[in-house]
């Protein structure tokens, strides 16, 4: 069955002896660390770009759009941000199908090359002041390329870790996807914070933003090297050795795995909205709507990201012990009940109040993220896992995540209520919570082969 309700016997020790080593074995732990780093660095590069764009949205709005109304320029910057998400489902279809046919390793190496290259190009684009309307057009093109490449990153990296992980540590291992993702935002936001503190807002706005995007070049090269040095996953190698690699994984996924696809889409609604509220919308929200200085805003955001990155593995491990559903539901409940009061706390005008509110939101996000990656991977069989996750994940991200910064900004403008974005987050939590309640618990089952 394609919805992940069957169990799979362990991979034959002769085919993949490395997965048979006990978790406590030093060599096994070292091997797993290598896989986590190789998967994570690529994910880091992807989210480093997305995080920088969100953190620097106010600066980008100054350079790539006609000036007049600052709110209109900021909305334009977020609209371009959302344009990249239009390509993500197409990227998920292309890269996911490729990853199920030729392997996870080769596909992920190609993805990181394109992602880091497109991010670096962001740092050398001409501005509206120098080339007029060509500037936002070029910005959109780069965002579309980034979105297409990103469509293959999240699902592929999660698949890689899930298929390498011991069955009793799958939640813990796959949670590192989000550790690296939020680490990228910490580094990106931290660099902006340090640059602003040391050189001032003027330097950041005049040339510093370009330097930050160019950092993607060395990061991408490191990630490319690490990924090319990996073997493909034991699960995929076993499937290939038995001649059971799907000739048309996309058709097979749509024909036999539609129910699992719907569950995956529902899981990702809160993940997409929550991530982009915290990672992309929050820096500009703190400055433009709540009146905090750029320095304070960046500091609050970085503190929140540190909490998430530190707690996600704990919740991943907890999901291995008590199940994916209880941990995911805890995150949903937190967002549903406390998002609005948390935004009210942020409006206190005090750094520590804003930081406490960001930490609370981060706690809910960490709980959900800790369990959801493994839960998604466990829905699908190995033969169609990468492609199926790529389709479902990116459709949900495109529909709900890409519009989040724009829609949240529009809600404030349309209603006059500074806390109106909370209702969007609460709706996402309700949709995902209902989906989780209806889903099967999968933490004790093995990964399905076919």
Q: Tens of pLDDT along 304-336? A: 889 999 999 999 999 999 999 999 999 999 999
Three-state DSSP class for 329?
helix
Torsion angle defined by CA atoms of residues 342, 368, 265 and 436, in that order, rounded to the nearest 10 degrees: -100
Mean per-residue pLDDT for 72-101?
82
Q: What is the mean pLDDT of the chain?
A: 84
Contact 405, 50 (CB under 8 A): no
Q: How far is CA 225 from CA 38, 100, 130, 214, 216, in A?
A: 9, 22, 37, 18, 14
Whole-prediction pTM: 0.83
Distances (CA, A) of 187 to 69, 298, 321: 31, 11, 31
Check: CB of residue 114 under 8 Å from CB of residue 51. no
Handedness of CA 200, 205, 209, 211 (dihedral sign): negative
In the structure, what pLDDT confidence band is assigned to residue 402 with cuts at 50, 70 and 90? Answer: confident
Question: Would you state the pLDDT for residue 69?
Answer: 61
Q: What contacts 154, CB < 8 A, 6 or more positions away? A: 43, 46, 177, 389, 393, 394, 397
Six token digits for residue 152: 């293959």
- pLDDT for 21-56, tens place per residue? 333 334 445 578 889 988 888 788 877 877 777 677
Q: What domains does the chain contain, in order, with CATH numbers?
A: 23-438 (1.20.1250.20)
Q: What is the pLDDT of residue 67?
A: 67
Instruction: List the Cα angle 5/320/37 in 5-degree steps.
Output: 105
Spatial distance between the Cα atoms of 434 and 329, rounded to a whole number of angstroms: 9
Scanning the structure block, which residue is given the tokens 């805890």? 330
Give every CB contact of residue 324 below 8 A, 6+ residues apart in sequence: 171, 371, 372, 374, 375, 378, 441, 442, 443
């Amino acid at each position: 069955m394609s919805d992940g309700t069957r169990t799979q016997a362990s991979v034959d020790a002769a085919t993949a002896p490395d997965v048979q080593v006990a978790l406590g074995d030093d060599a096994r732990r070292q091997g797993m660390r290598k896989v986590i780093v190789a998967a994570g660095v690529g994910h880091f590069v992807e989210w480093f770009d997305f995080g920088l764009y969100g953190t620097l949205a106010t600066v980008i709005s100054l350079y790539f759009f006609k000036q007049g109304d600052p709110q209109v320029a900021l909305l334009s910057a977020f609209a371009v941000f959302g344009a990249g998400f239009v390509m993500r489902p197409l990227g998920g279809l292309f890269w996911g199908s490729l990853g199920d046919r030729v392997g996870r390793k080769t596909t992920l190496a190609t993805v990181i090359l394109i992602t880091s290259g497109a991010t670096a190009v962001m740092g050398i684009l001409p501005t509206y002041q120098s080339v007029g309307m060509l500037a936002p057009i070029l910005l959109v093109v780069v965002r579309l390329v980034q979105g297409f490449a990103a469509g293959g990153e999240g699902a592929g990296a999660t698949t890689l870790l899930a298929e390498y992980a011991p069955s009793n540590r799958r939640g813990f291992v796959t949670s590192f996807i989000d550790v690296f993702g939020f680490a990228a935002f910490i580094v990106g936001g931290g660099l902006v914070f340090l640059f602003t503190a040391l050189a001032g807002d003027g330097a950041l706005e005049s040339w510093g933003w370009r330097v930050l995007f160019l950092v993607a070049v060395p990061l991408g090269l490191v990630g490319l090297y690490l990924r090319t040095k990996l073997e493909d996953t034991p699960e995929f190698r076993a499937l290939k050795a038995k001649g059971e690699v799907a000739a048309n994984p996309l058709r097979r996924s749509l024909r036999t795995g539609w129910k699992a696809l719907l569950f995956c889409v529902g899981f990702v609604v809160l993940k997409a909205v929550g991530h982009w509220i915290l990672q992309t919308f929050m820096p500009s929200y703190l400055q433009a709507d709540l009146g905090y200085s750029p320095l304070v805003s960046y500091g609050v955001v970085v503190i929140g990201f540190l909490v998430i990155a530190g707690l996600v593995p704990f919740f991943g491990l907890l999901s291995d012990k008590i199940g994916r559903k209880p941990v995911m539901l805890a995150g949903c409940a937190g967002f549903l009940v406390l998002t609005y009061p948390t935004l009210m706390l942020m409006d206190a005008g005090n750094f520590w109040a804003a930081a406490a509110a960001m930490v609370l939101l981060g706690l809910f996000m960490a709980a959900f993220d800790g369990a959801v990656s493994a839960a998604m991977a466990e829905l699908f069989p190995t033969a169609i896992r990468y492609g199926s996750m790529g389709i479902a994940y990116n459709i949900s991200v495109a529909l709900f995540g890409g519009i989040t910064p724009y829609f949240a900004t529009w809600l404030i403008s349309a209603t006059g209520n500074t806390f109106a974005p909370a209702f969007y987050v609460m709706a996402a939590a309700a949709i995902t919570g209902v989906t989780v309640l209806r889903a099967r618990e999968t933490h004790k089952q093995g990964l399905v082969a076919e």
